[in-house]
Structure 1
Amino acid sequence: MQHLEEQIAHLTKTVDEMSAVIARQERELAVLTRRVQMLMEREAHREQDGGGGAVFGNERPPHY
């Protein structure tokens, strides 16, 4: 019986630790999602203003 109680205590501790990790990761994911959204909006504004200078794939830059 004591062995089972020890296992339950260990599993409970593990679940609590995993819960804390998941909560931290959820906060980090929310921050990263906001940052990506801000970057996407910034790039969209840059493209609207005609200031986009990135070359993708086989595209030639405008000065060629």
Structure 2
Amino acid sequence: MQHIEERLAHLIRSVEDLSDVVARQQGEIEQLTRRVEMLMQREAGRDAEGTGGVVLADERPPHY
């Protein structure tokens, strides 16, 4: 019986540790999602302004 109790205690600890990991990862995912949304909005604003900064290979530099 003691062996089962020890195993149960280890399993409970493992579940708690995994729960902490999942909670931390969820926070990181939410933060990264907000950053991606911000970058998408910023890029959409650049596209709307026409200042995307895309340089084409056959385009002359402005100093010519």
Aligned to 1:58: none
**TM-score with structure 2 setting the length:** 0.85
Q: Distance in 2 between matches of 1:17 and 1:54?
A: 47
Aligned to 1:50: 50
Post-superposition shift, 1:33?
Answer: 0.1
Q: Rg bigger for which structure?
A: 2
Q: Distance in 1 between matches of 2:54 and 2:38?
A: 18
Post-superposition shift, 1:53?
Answer: 1.7
Aligned to 2:59: 63
**Any idea what the Cα deviations from partners look like across 1:11-62, whole Å, max 9, x if unmatched?**
000000000000000000000000000000000000110001236xxxxx17
User: Which ranges in structure 2 are unaligned for 5 or more consecutive residues?
Assistant: none
How many residues get paired?
59
Q: Identical aligned pairs, as a percentage? A: 53
Alignment RMSD: 1.5
